[in-house]
Amino acid sequence: MGKKLSFDLTDENAETLEAIKNESRVPFGQTINSLIELFCRIPADVNAELLAFCKEKIKELYTEMDRAGEYEAQTLMNKSQTYQNLAMFLNRGHRISIDSIESKPKMQKIEMFNSVLICPSDYIILNKEEAEYCEYASVVEVRNAKFGVPHFIYFHSKEANAYNDTDTEMIEKACVREWPRFKEIMDSLVEPIPDPTAEHKWQYLNAKEVNEAPQIGHFSIYIQGDSRYPSNYKPPMETRIIRL
């Protein structure tokens, strides 16, 4: 039949309970039981979804309030604090910090052949139309660039370590097509000049210039559960292919 408990409520909360009782004819106990069922015994998946929603709202409101005028900013601050309190409750009392929200990129999901690719939503997809026929994908990353260069995704029937010069050339042309500044990177590449007198063929006469110039890398995207990686492997930016 339940338990009788007595506890202290703040004046405001007591008034709210009274108002609910007067307006909806719902007894105190029923309101409190509903609140506990809804919030304290919330299923884990619903909790996670609500928490993700609150985080997105906080992020959105933070951006909005910095652009808003004085009055609007105050309204948005109060509103975001409500989401912050809700998020903190759903996060078992742990506060949500802006840095923790921003360090987690928003992800996108792309259907592939018998699999799904998950990658940050700011990665540029070069050949989305071919995704459904491909089992593999690679990411293009640039090092030593003088400006910020995004990551690019290319779907292929083979892994990046099996690419030949024609493959990489085709992918890099697609990068220029989708993001024209990539041409500046390609123009600033330094061709290595092998040292004829050196013992190893990878020793270059212009090694210093090569190392300091921008370099384009093609990397295979990790396939979840790939036995070549340790079981606790965490791929960069959580980018991975999940076989269905």
Partner 1 sequence: MFDFFKRKTQQQPAERNPIPLPEIPSEKMNPVALHEMLKNRTAIWGWYKITDMRNNELNFSALLNMTLGFDGFAVFRKEGDYLVKYRVDSVGKEHAIYMKISEVCRLTPSNVMELYNTEFADAYKLFYDNDSNYSAGCQCYVHDVNIDMIENELSKRRVFYIGEEHFFKKSDYPDGLPTAEKE
Residue 95 binding partner 1, by CB under 8 A: yes
CA distance 153 to 123: 7
Per CB under 8 A, 77 contacts partner 1: yes
Q: Which stretch binds partner 1 (CB under 8 A): 79-87, 132-140, 161-169, 209-217?
A: 79-87
* One of 16, 30, 33, 63 touching partner 1 (CB under 8 A): 63
Instruction: Choose one: 2-10, 94-102, 154-162, 231-239; the region binding partner 1 (CB under 8 A).
Output: 94-102
d(CA 125, CA 66): 31
Residue with tokens 């409750």: 89
60 touches partner 1 by CB under 8 A:
no
Report, in Å, the least distance between residue 89 CB and partner 1: 11
Determine if 124 is a binding residue for partner 1 (CB under 8 A). Answer: no
Residue 46 in contact with partner 1, rule: CB under 8 A: no
Using CB atoms within 10 A of its CB, is residue 80 exposed (0-12), middle (13-18) or buried (19+)? buried
Residues 145 and 181 sit within 8 Å (Cβ to Cβ)? no
Using CB under 8 A, pick the residue from 99, 129, 165, 187 that binds partner 1. Answer: 99
Q: What is Dmax (Cα atoms) for the chain? A: 94
Note whether 82 binds partner 1 by CB under 8 A: no
With beta carbons less than 8 A apart as the criterion, state whether 160 and 138 touch.
Answer: yes
The dihedral built from the CA positions of residue 47, 53, 57 and 60, taken in this order, carries a sign that is positive
Binding site for partner 1 (CB under 8 A): 62-63, 65-66, 68, 73-74, 76-78, 80-81, 84, 92-99, 102
